[in-house]
Amino acid sequence: METVAFGPVSVSQLNNYLKQRLDGDEALRLVCVEGEISNFTDHSSGHMYFSLKDKDAAIKAVMFRGYRKKLTFRPTGGMKVIAIGDVSFYSKAGTVQLYVQHMFPSGIGDIYANLEALKEKLSKEGLFDGAHKKEIPKYPENIAIITSPTGAALRDIRNVLGRRYPLARQVLYPVMVQGNSAALEIVQALETANRDGKCDVILLARGGGSLEELSIFNDEKLARAIYASQIPVITGIGHEIDYTIADYVADLRAPTPSAAAELAVPDQNELMLSLDNMAERWQEALYSKVQTARNALDFLKMRGMRSVGMLLERQEQRAILLKQRLCSGLESIALGLKAKLSITASALEAQNPALRFTNGFIYAEADGIPVRSISQLKPGREVRLFTKDGEALVEVQRIERREISDDI
């Protein structure tokens, strides 16, 4: 639509024309507007819808989720802010809107500039470097809590720690979390916790607040104290959209105090489930090992019984063989002895005097002494003669010597 002067046009045509004209006006790019937030809606999509007004006028505004993530504070109704964005025409509703890309509370332009300068300085020094981040212990025994003793943040932290991991001992280092002396108190609490050396992790926390209220966590001395801490530091400051320099320096950043407590400890229910699963796996492994050992033992028993039976059978065979060999040997010995006895008996039989008597031999004694040689006799000496069937006493008449064989 080049002009609206000729003939009737549709609403869509008119609104599109207005949008084109506004979008083409460079004066409406990155307009800086100061006003009070009203009709604020924090949509579930992450977009924020609101109006900016002063005492005489108002303009609708929207800040989409992608730009919202860059906010360093939490906008609320009634807050005076400075918004930077493009002015355009929302054709569907027929309204002029400010599409906000940057926004911060009014009157903090210098504060914001100083904050950005400090962030750049500390970043160049390496205070935000991930290489310097300390590991958070998995099972802390003692937890230092640096926060206000009367704030909701402490109550939330204690509830989470007590529910998730009651084994951990909580050590409170009470401090102010807003005001001129708050940053110094927190620095001193960090130094004290490190000197005490009792705790495994430090929770630095406070609830939500405005940018001015959270500004103590942008203190340079506090940032350097967090960096110098030998104990890991978890921050839980404000809400999810609130980012401070302390968050950048900390070893771990949580969006809220409750979330910081959750990141500091494990969940006891998950641990119990894990232990139960581990015990079940160990029991199954132990049962498997026992069953394997039983099977091996049964196999050895069966093998042993077979081995014993085979051994007994072999021993029995050896005994039978030895018996056969012994009997054979004894039989041979007996036969040899029998042969020798037969020869001896024959020799003895041959020497038997009675046998000689049957052959005509006699036995002679002189004075009770056997007569073996003629030299034992002399004429007139009495000699007793023995025969097979009797004896006789005779007197020697004469002596005749002769040579005879020794075999007689």
pLDDT digits 0-9 by tens, 121-156 = 999 999 999 999 999 999 999 999 999 999 899 999
**Average model confidence (pLDDT) across the chain:** 84
Pick the residue with more confidence: 319 or 356? Answer: 319
Nearest to 151 by CA among 185, 188, 178: 178
Residue 120 in domain: no
Residue 315 shares a structural domain with residue 249: no
pLDDT over 70, % of the chain: 88
Q: Could you say which of 266, 282, 301 is where a domain stops?
A: 266
Choose the final residue of a domain: 72, 107, 142. 107
Top pLDDT among 376 and 60 is at 60
Which has the closest alpha carbon to 19: 129, 96, 78?
96
Specify if 119 maps to a domain: no
Sorting pLDDT into bands at 50, 70 and 90, what band is 404?
Answer: low
> How many of the other CB atoms lie within 10 Å of CB of 290?
10
pLDDT of residue 309: 66
Q: Are residues 34 and 64 in the same domain?
A: yes
Residue 403 lies in a domain: no
pLDDT band at 408 (very low <50, low <70, confident <90, very high): very low
Residues 6+ apart with CB under 8 A from 334: none
Range in 200-204, 251-255, 285-289 the model is least confident about: 285-289
Mutual angle of helices 182-196 and 220-228, in 10-degree steps: 10
Q: What is the mean pLDDT of residues 309-337?
A: 76
Partner residues linked to 253 by β-bridges? 235
One domain for residues 248 and 325: no
**89 and 100 part of one domain:** yes
Is 404 a domain residue?
Answer: no
Q: Which CB contacts under 8 angstroms, 24+ apart, belong to 117-123?
A: 118/218, 118/220, 118/223, 118/245, 119/245, 119/248, 122/220, 122/223, 122/245, 122/248, 122/249, 123/248
Phi, psi values for residue 239, rounded to 5°? -115, 180
In single-letter form, the type of residue at position 57 comes to A
Question: Residue 155 maps to which CATH number?
Answer: 3.40.50.261
Same domain? For 158 and 241 the reply is yes
Structure tokens at 283: 């029991």
Number of domains composing the chain: 4
Q: Which residues pair with 61 in a beta bridge?
A: 50, 98
Q: Which domain holds residue 374?
A: 354-395
Q: Are residues 171 and 61 in the same domain?
A: no
Instruction: Clarify whether residues 70 and 137 are in a common domain.
Output: no
Exposure b/e, 171-183, CB count within 10 A at least 16 = b: eebebbbbeeebb
Domain presence at residue 6: no
* pLDDT given at position 349: 64
The pLDDT value recorded for residue 381 is: 85
User: Does 183 share its domain with 228?
Assistant: yes
Rounded Cα gap, residues 158 and 170, in angstroms? 8
- Pair (230, 250) in one structural domain: yes
The DSSP symbol for 127 reads T
Quote the pLDDT of residue 385. 82
- Joined together, the tokens standing for residue 173 give 């280092």
What's the CA gap between 57 and 148, in Å, rounded? Answer: 41
More confident: 101 or 109? 101
Q: What is the pLDDT of residues 158-217, one digit of tens each?
A: 999 999 999 999 999 999 998 889 999 999 999 999 999 999 999 999 988 766 778 899
- Amino acid identity of residue 350, one-letter, is A
pLDDT score of 1 more than 60? no
Angstrom distances, CA of residue 41 to CA of 48, 103, 163: 6, 16, 34
Q: Are residues 223 and 242 in the same domain?
A: yes
Last residue of a domain, one of 225, 245, 266: 266
Looking up residue 85, the CATH number of its domain turns out to be 2.40.50.140
199, 171 Cβ separation under 8 angstroms: yes
From 116, 106, 104, 119, select the one nearest 73 (Cα to Cα).
104
Answer whether residue 112 is part of any domain. no
Specify whether 262 is located in the same domain as 315.
no
**Is 118 among the domain residues?**
no
Does residue 113 lie within any of the structural domains? no
Do 281 and 387 sit in the same domain of this protein?
A: no
pLDDT at residue 405, rounded to an integer: 55
